[in-house]
Structure 1
Amino acid sequence: MKQPGTIYEAIGGFDTIDTLVTAFYTHVGNHPKLIPIFPDDLTETARKQRLFLTQFFGGPKWYTEDRGQPMMRRRHLPFEITPERRDAWLACMDAALNETKIEEPYHTAIFEKLTMTAHHMMNTPYK
């Protein structure tokens, strides 16, 4: 049996990313700490997240093809990302990972990679 070469392949590819992002933005759209920094219509935000996570976890480089180099910190600088919002974002992602039923060791690997990224995105101290 061939072992998957990437997290993307191991979790089932784009269909799983799509399910994860859909679940995630359902939580984001209802989270009082996150609503102020996200648009009312999350359609385009979710589309970009699908492209990013596909690439981030070893799938096709769709994000770069569509948007250029990720430069995620720079792209997020216009938004106040506090430790509190980082934690809210991670809580929404953890809930989405649970709902998507991504199995171990991939659930933990994904959450750890996204936790490091979320820490990197912080640009505003506690208020």
Structure 2
Amino acid sequence: MANGFEEAGRVEPVRIKGTDGTHVGGNFYEQIGGSATFEKLANKFYEGIAGDEVLRPMYPDGDLAPAARRMQLFLEQYWGGPTTYQEERGHPRLRMRHNPYKINPDARDRWLNHMRVAVASLSLPQLQEAELWGYLERAATSMLNTYED
């Protein structure tokens, strides 16, 4: 299993049931505010990308809105929200989709810097922010495909 997905399909989040059999606490997607939170995260992130001289060229389209939507949908699905990403684009295959781009430590660090600003803009509780940030750091590092400048 990689990035919350198995070869055969989507892995469902663990849901805790109360003594009456109903789900309690929600999943991470629900806990942090659902679609609106992930939309805010993606939009804030791409505001930073728009002015980044290293990362912006990786998005040849003039409009970053489609990239922001893809990120939003991917993160929503990963964290237990709707499966729209997979329905529209299939399995995420993140490394394959990013392989055409030179992702070195500088690109990763820039990506993380923009993402840090975006995550901070959400004002999440500390535990939830740490869980989200931990995943994003691991995901960014897993995209490295070169150590050349």
TM norm structure 2: 0.79
- 1:87 matched to 2:85? The reply is no
Greater percentage in helix = 1
Which of 110, 129, 132 is residue 110 of structure 1 equivalent to? 132
Which of 54, 58, 61 is residue 83 of structure 2 equivalent to? 61
Task: Please say which structure displays the higher CA radius of gyration.
Answer: 2
CA deviation string 1:26-76 (max 9, x = no partner) = 011112221221233101111111110101111111111110001100010
Alignment of 1:1-127 (within 5 A): 3-39=24-60, 40-127=62-149
- Equivalences, count: 127
- In structure 1, the gaps of 5 or more residues are none
C-alpha distance in structure 1 between counterparts of 2:141 and 2:104, whole Å = 10
TM norm structure 1: 0.92
Runs of 4+ in 1 over 2 A off after TM superposition: 1-5
SS at match of 1:122: coil
Q: Percent identity?
A: 36
C-alpha distance in structure 2 between counterparts of 1:3 and 1:88, whole Å = 37
Structure with greater contact order relative to length (CA < 8 Å, sep ≥ 6): 1
Greater percentage in strand = 2
- In structure 2, the gaps of 5 or more residues are 1-17
